[in-house]
Amino acid sequence: MFFIDPVRPVERALITHGHADHARPGHGSVLATAETLGIMAVRYGAAFAGATQTAILGESLTLNGVTVRFHPAGHVLGSAQIAVESGGTRIVVSGDYKRASDPTCLPFEVVPCDVFVSEATFGLPIFRHPDATDEVEKLLASLRLFPERAHLVGAYALGKAQRIVRLIRQAGYDRPIHVHGAMEKLMAFYAGQGIDMGEIVPVRAADKSGLKGAIILCPPGSLQDLWSRKFPDPVTAFASGWMQTRARARQRGVELPLIVSDHADWPDLCRTIRDTGCAELWVTHGQEDALVHWAGTQGIKAKPLNLVGYGDDGEAEPAGEEPVVEESVVEESRA
């Protein structure tokens, strides 16, 4: 018996990727890619599970008479789909995935299957994410237009932040990029995996006013928080698939929305489901209704799984969001 991405501690867990809603500490044993195990160790400490086992992409393992195989999902570094095969039926649990190119992780691999388990974070036809390269160019254009203003970019600490850094580097920007303290360790981890981040400088409270014209990455919640004060006349940017609708961007006080998503948009969700050739679709989290409806029109049997506990990886709908770092920052501002 084993569980994939369990939300509660279990004896044996298979983990698709390192986001906190999928990878939780306290399991008896964890089977995941080397990168995902590394990310969990960075986040939860070396003793995050009783035992760990590294999954090699494309290699079959047998667990309780069931064949299990990991394939790249294109979501973040180390992210994998897990194919489970028994009695001639193959189920692919895709975790979170995207088809758009990402310089920080392996591309998604189509795994033909009978049952495809898909997320639906951006499962509405209004979501057609533009090329991320063009979005990052918007940031650099703003920087040229306002060379005196600090550019604060909200981005999720695992995956999005590193992808943004790589895209900025690929666009030819080689000045230091400043990061919120909560991002330091993961930036270092990516660099340690051979992904060139260039010069990354943590932001210290005292330096803030000196950061004219700098790019500063921070967790999305920090954009509106005490932490964001004292930067010189900041431009507030937010890199997220949610930035596609104006109201959502404005609700968060974002001045420069960057539509960059680590999840598949609507056309890619549909394309992927077709590519797998699945006869049945199970939808985990997000906008399930539209995707289930669409699958029905394509003759694919579909159902929502109504799972609870997923979707708070920073791409999830920002509701009453509050940053995890708030209390410590309050202390800092008092000092």
Q: Is 128 in the site for other proteins (CB under 8 A)?
A: yes
Q: Is 254 in the site for other proteins (CB under 8 A)?
A: yes
Q: Is 120 in the site for other proteins (CB under 8 A)?
A: no
Nearer to other proteins, 107 or 296 (CB): 296
Q: How far apart are the first and last CA of the chain?
A: 52
Residues 48-87, one symbol each (x = binds other proteins by CB under 8 A, - = not), give ----------------------------------------
Neighbours of 143 (CB within 10 A): 21
Nearer to other proteins, 97 or 238 (CB): 238
Give the distance from CA 208 to its chain's centroid.
27
Give the distance from CA 239 to its chain's centroid.
11
Work out how close the CB of 312 gets to other proteins at its nearest, in angstroms, rounded to a whole number.
15
Which residue's entry shows tokens 């009695």? Answer: 87
Work out how close the CB of 255 gets to other proteins at its nearest, in angstroms, rounded to a whole number.
5
Structure tokens at 321: 């969001």
Q: Is 121 in the site for other proteins (CB under 8 A)?
A: no
Of the residues 78, 257, 314, 323, which one makes contact with other proteins according to CB under 8 A? 257
Q: Is 46 in the site for other proteins (CB under 8 A)?
A: no
> Across 243-279, where does the E strand assignment appear?
256-258
CA separation for the pair 186, 164 (Å, rounded):
13
Answer yes or no: are the C-beta atoms of 268 and 99 closer than 8 Å.
yes
Name the residue among 76, 27, 75, 82 with its Cα closest to residue 60.
Answer: 82
Nearer to other proteins, 324 or 330 (CB): 330
CA 79-7-24 angle, to 5 degrees, is 55
77's CB contacts (< 8 A; 6+ apart) are 18, 35, 39, 104, 105, 159, 162, 190, 193, 195
Single out the segment in contact with other proteins by CB under 8 A; choices: 15-23, 42-50, 85-93, 316-324: 316-324
Of the residues 137, 140, 224, 274, which one makes contact with other proteins according to CB under 8 A? 224
Q: Is 251 in the site for other proteins (CB under 8 A)?
A: yes
Of the residues 148, 297, 306, 331, which one makes contact with other proteins according to CB under 8 A? 297
The binding site for other proteins (CB under 8 A) comprises: 124-128, 224-226, 228-229, 236, 244-247, 249-251, 253-257, 287, 289-290, 293-294, 297, 319-320, 322, 326, 330
